[in-house]
Amino acid sequence: MTESTSPAPKSNKTPARPTLKAVRGTRDLLPDQTPLWNHVESTARALFARYGFGEIRTPIFESTELFARGVGEETDIVSKEMFTWEDRARAASEKAQSLTLRPESTAGVVRAYIEHQLGNTGNLQKLYYIGPQFRRERPQRGRYRQFWQIGAEVIGPQSSGSESPLRDAEILEMLASLLTELGIRDWRLELNSVGSAEDRVRYNAALREALAPIKHQMCEDNQRRAETNPLRVLDSKDEADQALINTLPKIADYLSPESKAHFDQVLAALDACGVPYHLNPRLVRGLDYYTRTTFEFTVTTGLGTQNALLGGGRYDGLSEMLGGPRAPGIGFAIGEDRLILTLQAQAEADNISTAAPKLDAYIAPLTPAQNPAALSLARELRAAGLTVEVGDGTFKLRKSFDIADTLARHIILLGEDEAATNILTVKTFASGEQTKVPRAKLAGALR
């Protein structure tokens, strides 16, 4: 006898949707992390203001052509890493436009300088920015596809002194001061000069000649660079090619007398300010617009082998490359993600917390009827500049104490007696002391 089987009953449950997560290479910065970020940014803003810098905010996307012309088509950023899309035309009279999320901000700042004719003032423009950048590179420690940079640019007509070696030294001295104020230890400034555009033509010719018999031994990327942009070979991180790269000519041997004099004056100014530095003849940076002074600050803590914290250099011809007037300039960009990692690693080594400080007070209404009075008291204390959280009268007293202990330095108990007499019960968690404080003196007591 064969058993009959009936189909399984259909489920009325809707299939669960997959949990949404942040896109790979991006991340959320949560409230327990952002205080350190805010500290870094507020310190930078205050220091930049002392040096006469003003903030500029440019769009996070620009015409793709801006980066192709400014950064350089043969750079890894433009050829491999940009987030680019075609913005389709909305009308027959319009043309589709290629747009790109900004992979760096210098080109956008110089575009704004040209577009708004800032050079017409005749004054030096000292501009800083803080904001996200975007590159499609392999996510790794301290490197994200959306990352934050703090940067600054000094640009202006030649008559404003924008080409002066003093501007280079001032930028470097300011960065040394910023890292010191933030508490970054053991930073190292590496310096080089890549010369003028004319110097680079001579040097590129020498590099091509030196690379010709050995380029076939190099990685595929460096073989391509040897043909299209030999200077980029020096910037290669391919370990297998380092021994060959070290045999190549040094750019210092191809600098004109003017370029050498400019660099010597930068070094003399740094010596006068007591800013230590190390000369690195292979430091060319990864962007095509750099001329003369180039630099990096590296650290020994928190970043591993890829230890560059920030970098920059002079770009005397960038404005002309973008169709603008002659406007020599110099700038830098700090990888804020990497700076934060360094500060966290140093704090951990020193057993120092980077968490946000506790609130001044937690108000615990003892019954729901005291909720309005609790909010009124919180408003009064906040207006006096104190940080305050308000509980709820439905909470049991033990729950209020537990929450308050994690959030605040003091707990204020607000029951019917306290509301009627304006004498508040305040407990300080650090000492365990519990006191009665008149409402008129409460703000001062909490401080």
What CATH number is attached to the domain comprising 387?
3.40.50.800
Q: Confirm whether 241 is domain-assigned.
A: no
Q: Are residues 424 and 286 in the same domain?
A: no
Domain boundary among the residues 349, 368, 383 is at: 349
**388 contacts 361 by C-beta, under 8 angstroms:** yes
Q: Are residues 160 and 290 in the same domain?
A: yes
Domain boundary among the residues 349, 374, 390 is at: 349
Domain boundary among the residues 293, 316, 349 is at: 349
The mean pLDDT of the chain is: 88
Return the closest-CA partner of residue 331 out of 201, 162, 115.
162
Check pLDDT > 70 for residue 288: no
Q: Which two tokens stand for residue 411?
A: 């707990």
User: How far is residue 149's CA from residue 50's CA, in Å, rounded to a whole number?
Assistant: 20
Alpha-carbon distances, residue 87 vs 128, 211, 433 (angstroms): 29, 41, 64
User: How far is residue 366's CA from residue 181's CA, in Å, rounded to a whole number?
Assistant: 45
User: How far is residue 418's CA from residue 439's CA, in Å, rounded to a whole number?
Assistant: 9
Q: Confirm whether 218 is domain-assigned.
A: no
User: How far is residue 438's CA from residue 421's CA, in Å, rounded to a whole number?
Assistant: 9
**177 contacts 47 by C-beta, under 8 angstroms:** yes
Q: Are residues 317 and 441 in the same domain?
A: no
Q: What is the pTM of this model?
A: 0.84
What is the total count of domains within the chain? 2
Positive or negative CA dihedral for 337, 233, 60, 174? Answer: positive
Q: Are residues 306 and 435 in the same domain?
A: no
Q: Are residues 72 and 188 in the same domain?
A: yes
Q: What percent of the chain has pLDDT over 70?
A: 92
pLDDT value at residue 7? 58
User: Per-residue pLDDT averaged across 47-51, rounded?
Assistant: 97
pLDDT value at residue 67? 87
Q: Domain range spanning residue 125? A: 34-196+256-349
**338 contacts 303 by C-beta, under 8 angstroms:** yes
Q: Are residues 297 and 320 in the same domain?
A: yes
Q: Are residues 89 and 117 in the same domain?
A: yes
- Model confidence at 14, pLDDT cuts 50, 70, 90, reads low
